[in-house]
Amino acid sequence: MKRIEAIIKPYKLETLKAGLDELGITGMTIGEVQGLAGGRDVFVRGSHSTVSLVPRIQVTLVVTADLADLVVQKILSSVRTGSPGDGIVCIQPVEKVYRIRTGETDGEAL
C-alpha cells in the first residue's frame, strides 16, 4: 500500500476530486495548509509588502500499491497549470492499515 500526499492550489480541488472519482477513489483527507512561496511582492492599498505564505490544499490518500502510479498520474493531469506553485506529490510506503469501525485490515480497510 502507498500513502499519496498532494499539495495543490485551492481552486484545483474540485477538478482533482472529479478526476479521482473517475478512478473510483472517493476516500481522502483534505486540509487547508499554507506553503512557503519564496516571497512575492504585492501592493495593497498603496503599500508594499512581501507575501511568503500562500494558501494551499493538502490531499492525502492511501491506495493499494498497484493503483499508486495511476492515481499519481491522475493527480498530475488534474491539477497541472504549467505555472509556478502547481504543487508537489509525495509517495510513501504504508506498512499496515486498520479500519477502526470494522477491524478490517490492509486492502479490505481501503
Residue range 56-97, pLDDT digits in tens: 999 999 999 999 999 999 999 999 999 888 999 999 999 999
Residues 42-61: pLDDT tens digits? Answer: 666 777 766 678 899 999 99
Q: Domain ranges in the chain?
A: 2-40+50-109
- The residue that leads in pLDDT, 53 or 41, is 53
Q: Is domain 2-40+50-109 annotated with CATH 3.30.70.120?
A: yes
Cell reading at 10: 485551492
| DSSP assignments along 7-64, one per residue | EE-GGGHHHHHHHHHHTT----EEEEEEEEEEEEEEEETTEEEEEEEEEEEEEEEEE-
